[in-house]
Structure 1
Amino acid sequence: MPYEWSPKQPDAAPQWQLSLWPYRSLLRKDFVLFIGATALLVSLPLITVLGTAVLWALLPFFAMMIAGLWFALHVSYRRGEILEEFTVGETQAALVRHNPTGDRQEWKANRYWVTVHMHPKGGPVENYITLRGGDREVEIGAFLDAAERLALYDDLKRALRPV
């Protein structure tokens, strides 16, 4: 699951904290291997034209293809650098979202009034989860897939039960 509950510490200020992030199927360390393997496989047909003028005509297109692939994966990584931290203390609950652009979005509410809601079909994604507290309703985990949001919803319902 691309989220993690922090262990409860007896004397810590927050009772618990939940960190969420988008799932990454291609890790950063595998990025170099993928680009290298792709370049190697695509360059195999170029062996037949080695030493001819055709190689020089095809080489710029080969370089543009590798550069385009690298750029597309880099943009995908930048858009996926989202971190949501949901912290619940004795009296207050706070959700902080760190966006890829570097800005932060914060939401705070009285823990007693915080409720979790799931919108199975009405939200922008299936099983859309929101937190409602005070006068605002905020989304949480919109980047997770539908099954992960179901599991998150159950975990949040259990964790936000009145003490």
Structure 2
Amino acid sequence: MPYELHQEADGRAELRLWPYNALAPRGFAVVIVMAAGTLAIPLLAVIGSKVLWGLLPFALIALWGLWYALDRNYRDRRILEAMELTRSEVTLRRQTASGMVQEWRADPHWISLHLAAKGGPVPQYLTLTGGGREVELGAFLTPEERVRLSESLGAVLIRLKSYS
């Protein structure tokens, strides 16, 4: 599950969300080496001929495209959302893939959690409204994970709003 929700005894809670990590750096290297080897096999038959120079650019472009796509995916996984929930304030900090940090604060008593099954940009669109703004939460999660997160976070918000 690409999120953690920790609840303290005094009512405070901390939520961390991150994109799913499907390929570790070692896996990145293995995929590139296997792709290069696979692309080299047909080129072995034409070594020493002019055909090699006609095929080689296309093989290199395919290898570069794979490298770029995997590297872009790796950089996009640097997204991190961290939420601190207390009885006095809820703070959401979002670090984008470029490293820019966005922050949203609101009073927990005025926050509402919305899960739109349909009609949002993605299925099970999860948003928080409060402090005069609406922010999306867990855009990179699967629809099922957003439903589970909505249930867990909803329970935490209810606990924060109650004075027990």
Q: TM-score range by the shorter chain?
A: 0.7 to 0.9
| Deviation for aligned residue 1:7 | 5.7
Which runs of at least 4 in structure 1 moved beyond 6 Å after TM superposition? none
Change (3 A) 1:72 1:9: same
Q: Scaled by the length of structure 1, what TM-score is found?
A: 0.87
2:145 is aligned with 1:152? no
2:36 is aligned with 1:17? no
| Deviation for aligned residue 1:6 | 3.4
**What is the alpha-carbon distance in structure 1 between the residues aligned to residue 43 and residue 126 of structure 2?**
51
| Deviation for aligned residue 1:56 | 3.4
CA deviation string 1:23-82 (max 9, x = no partner):
232222211110111111121112222333332332232222211211122223323421
1:76 is matched with 73
1:64 is matched with 61
1:137 is matched with 134
**What is the alpha-carbon distance in structure 1 between the residues aligned to residue 104 and residue 51 of structure 2?**
60
Letter in 2 for 1:114: I
Q: What is the Cα-based RMSD across aligned positions, in Å?
A: 1.9
SS of residue in 2 equivalent to 1:6: strand
List gaps (5 residues or longer) in structure 1. Answer: none
List gaps (5 residues or longer) in structure 2. Answer: none
CA deviation string 1:112-140 (max 9, x = no partner):
22221111112111111111223222111
| Deviation for aligned residue 1:100 | 1.2
SS of residue in 1 equivalent to 2:123: coil
2:50 is aligned with 1:53? yes
2:109 is matched with 112
**What is the alpha-carbon distance in structure 2 between the residues aligned to residue 115 and residue 27 of structure 1?**
37
2:84 is aligned with 1:87? yes
**What is the alpha-carbon distance in structure 2 between the residues aligned to residue 131 and residue 73 of structure 1?**
32
Q: Scaled by the length of structure 2, what TM-score is found?
A: 0.87
| Deviation for aligned residue 1:97 | 0.7
2:99 is matched with 102
Equivalent pairs counted in the alignment come to 160
2:1 is aligned with 1:4? no
SS of residue in 1 equivalent to 2:103: strand
**What is the alpha-carbon distance in structure 2 between the residues aligned to residue 78 and residue 115 of structure 1?**
32
